[in-house]
Structure 1
Amino acid sequence: MHNWAANVEYSTSDLRRPATLDEVRDVVASSRRVKALGSRHSFTRIADTDPDGVLLSLDRLGVPIELDSEAQTVRVGAGTTHAVLAVELQRHGRALPNLASLPHISVAGAVQTGTHGSGVANPALSASVAEVEFVRADGSLETVRRGDAAFHASVVGLGALGVVTALTLDTVPTFDVVQTVHEGLPWRAALDRFDEVVGHAYSVSLFTRYTGDTVHQVWAKARVGDPVRLDLAELGAVPAAAAVHMLPDTAADAVTPQLGVPGPWLDRLPHFRADFTPSAGEEIQSEYLVPAEHAVPAIEALRAVGHRLADVLFVGEIRTIAADDAWLSPSGGRDSVAFHFTWRRLADEVLAVLPVVEAALAPFDARPHWGKVATLDRGVLRERYPRLDDFAAHARAVDPDGRFRNDQLSRTVFEEAPVV
């Protein structure tokens, strides 16, 4: 078995797909090592186990989507995708504040790894979590709620605290969005007025290869009714005359509607359409988040090494994320700018170029996304995630035998030899 991009082959072929909560509890309690496997869109071994371990898929777990109109929350099964959840919320006039670029990812997998969308006022997806339901190492069921002492350790938990079986999320009233794309924004204007550019719509993404004098594309997703804050054409950008993909010479069939046509949030906030199902990903992804105040010098540092990335990089994306409180969230405790890299699926070449990126971003306290490829060791991560030791201590307390541990967690979180 392998992940979506086929750059990771899982260590075991023992995949269980329980249909009931009791079956999940039995599998966990009877397994020496076990990890929950989401939608397989992580590019690292964060969801892997050891060769004698068990992988758990929750796609058959019968947890209904339940809305609480009084609390304005929704309870959803961990294996449910955002695409499925969004349709149900829209049917009831509700919405999530934001979505990731791909709606096909599982709710729990996205939350547990610190995944986010974009927008200067929009925190990571984990910030919407009100409750997390776990199956712990002994098979017991426990719910951790906002306000509990362990809550901020649990939301972005990397699967190290138990198997997440359900989450309760905050919702907001549904809203409509218009998406526009501008091409060829001069870098000088983008950097001189960076805060205005990334803040001129509800969600903004800049696509670039860090070479040349212009930003390749700026995707802006504005809520209908919000004031127009900036016209990118005044800065030298050109409105796209037709729908475009962020990759050059790629058909736009898979992307969400553009050209300023209003539509519901679930059809505009992601970059990719929910009815476009990716069957294979000829790519590898990396992402690093830096404090928002370092955005411009960090971009300049990446532009200085852009020529060294050119042979391996499909496209880079720059997004903004508001601060949240999760201990291991890449945007925890600080407003952030994320630098996302979509690489060609050339594993050795990517591993060779990542130190170039990481060195360029090192002065800016860059934190890697847990589900995307990086080479930073625990010593660096400990400096950049101030609660890393606290998280490791909490994980040992709830999972003393390391049932949910794996090689990646052992190396990056627990400072111990890989599990065997």
Structure 2
Amino acid sequence: MNMETKDSGKGVISGNERVLRARLSDAAFFWDQDRKCTLRSRIPALKDRIFHAKIGTIAEKVERMGTLALDIAKYVPKVDNDLILVAANLAKADLSTGMVGEFPELQGIIGRYYALHDGESPDVADAVAQHYSPAGPEDGCQTKPLSIAIGLADKFDSLVGFWSINEKPTGSKDPYALRRASLGIIRLIIENKLRIPLLKIFKLSQDKFSFDVDLSRELRSFLFERMKVYLRDKGERHDVIEAVFSLDTEDDLIRLMSRFRALSQFLDHGEGWRLLDGYRRIANIVRIEERKDGCKFSKVSTNDFEEEDIILWKRLNNTQGTIEAALKDEKFGEALEVLAQLGPSIDNFFDKVKINTENASIRANRLGLLQKIIRLNDRVADFSKIEGGDKTIPKCP
């Protein structure tokens, strides 16, 4: 319940105005004082500012950012390489200004105005302001090439640095906002359609530190986990996400998203579920028989082929070449369609042969053929992760 004052709130308004005038007066003072020095002249002061005791100074971080941004620039179209080191060096220079000292929420923002006042390139000024973005899921994502390169370099450097000293997010604790940094990397890459090799960039970033352990795969896994959260928050199916992100050979987020979209769309149709049912049938048979025998059936010998085995073998080999070509060209929908076209050949095989025949060599061979089908499916996605019907497909060991 609101209380009505005797003066209708005039005293409150007057008090707020006094506070606001004082704050604006402070801001005007710092604005005038800070501009007496250029941002470039403030760069040496970053040597006295600690980023983290185990990682080093802000100056060292800025130096790493610059060289890493040059590496990243190879994957950012239309970036001006001549401006990268300038933008990186100026990105944190406003931290020593009186304005940021009094109004820390203005870091980057006020740096942009100071850079423009100093006559720096507008692209450099924008990079100073935008390299912190996106700060969250609702924050705007920069689209200017120079801002993207500097922003990515800053976030990759922070992830690698804190990971190297074992300062990782745990549970609800994330004191260095590494989850936010990873989401920033994801959004910058996805929304700007950048073909960035994650493992390579993580390794290049780590090489700029004095740590020996290669953490690139672990960091990629962390980024993938954040990507899964990003997709789930958008309402995507968790099982389809797992089916695609289980592929250990992938480190290109754009290619991964293309694969994910193709699988999601494919499963919206009956053809997709028929493929899924066929996979389940084969995976069940192989899983049961391998468990029974205590071994894996991975070898196929053409010497033990009968007529129907030969037909399926040839069909699989032809299909494998087509699928590999489609995957190489990133035509993931086409690869799924080719997989689905195997259905009639597999059904015919089951209709005409007995898998668990009394001839041990022929039985092992046929189970090996089925295993080959599973491996072929796994080249596209891990179908064992997809929930079909009332249960999840069992993963063949």
User: Which TM-score tier does this pair reach, normalised by the shorter chain?
Assistant: under 0.3
TM-score (ref. length: structure 1): 0.23
Q: Choose between structure 1 and 2: higher helix proportion.
A: 2
TM-score (ref. length: structure 2): 0.23
Q: Choose between structure 1 and 2: higher strand proportion.
A: 1
